[in-house]
Amino acid sequence: MTAKDNRASGAPVGPEALRRRFAEDGFTVAHGLFRHGEVRRLCGEFAALHAAGPVPGHFAPEPAASDPLRRFPRVMQPHEFNALARGFLLDARLRAVLEVLFGEEVLAAQSMFYFKPPGARGQAPHQDNFYLRAEPGTCVAAWVACEPVDRGNGGLEVVPGTHRMDLFCPEEADARLSFAREYVPPPPGLVPVPVDLAPGDVLFFNGSLVHGSGPNPSADRFRRSFIGHYVGRSALRVGAYYRTLTMSGERVELARSEGAGPCGTEFAPHGPH
């Protein structure tokens, strides 16, 4: 079973249908929101950043490490030092969908880029607003596929229905399978479903939606993706790590919420993986 295809048959999905679908499922896919050439350029930009070495406070590759994720760590807040990443985070096409989903103006709170190389661990099921702690309300993620994403390279799974639930207290994940410590088991009666994506597709999902991914079992396929997190303009508080911007790029100060931190608390490396 896979997540239902949200592609309309020949006609665009209207705002009300989009909002209704998101409220029902906790996620929706905007197919082909970005052109293939745009995401290829983004991948090339991050390949060049990786080759150039560390950017303090954002990522620090360890070329000699045995763990693929230490050789290709995720890049945190790249919009703060890279113009192309900033352009993606604040893109007008994302803004248009997000304003429908939120029903109000939106603020950008975070960007990330994942390489997820062959053999890399995944991220155990979790809820994004456990980390952002946007209050009142929640956050929404825009997950941009930069290449084909499926079960063959560690694609995402979502648990529809969990977006209507409160934040769970996570258990500890299996460090052999997940780079992040937090693990939220699917509640009884709810089943994870995979979401396959093509380059340029964008998966939007609610901050309470339980989602995650397994390891990348492929021998030669990366699973590169760019992720933005957003909050509604009516949010009053968010974690101190998340420095909110209008979609025009102006800084907006929100009060700090308690218990927040970077999205996914990583296991400390204990030698080679």
Query: pLDDT tens for residues 83-137?
Result: 999 999 999 999 999 999 999 999 999 999 999 999 999 999 999 999 999 999 9
Could you give the 3-state DSSP secondary structure of residue 234? coil
- Strand-pairing partners, residue 229, are 110, 141
**CA pair distance 106, 104, nearest whole angstrom:** 6
Does 3.40.30.10 match the CATH number of domain 22-256? no
Residue 48 pLDDT: 98
Beta strand extents in 42-175 (DSSP E only) = 75-76, 106-114, 123-126, 139-145, 156-159, 171-172
CA 5 vs CA 96, 102, 223: distances in Å: 20, 22, 20
Residue 259 pLDDT: 84
Residue 12 pLDDT: 55
Q: Where are the domains of the chain?
A: 22-256
Residue 254 pLDDT: 97
Parallel/antiparallel/unpaired status of strands 255-256 and 237-238: parallel
List per-block mean pLDDT (blocks of 10 residues) for the chain, which spans 273 residues: 42 78 96 97 98 96 97 98 98 97 97 98 98 97 98 98 96 97 96 98 98 98 98 97 97 93 80 40
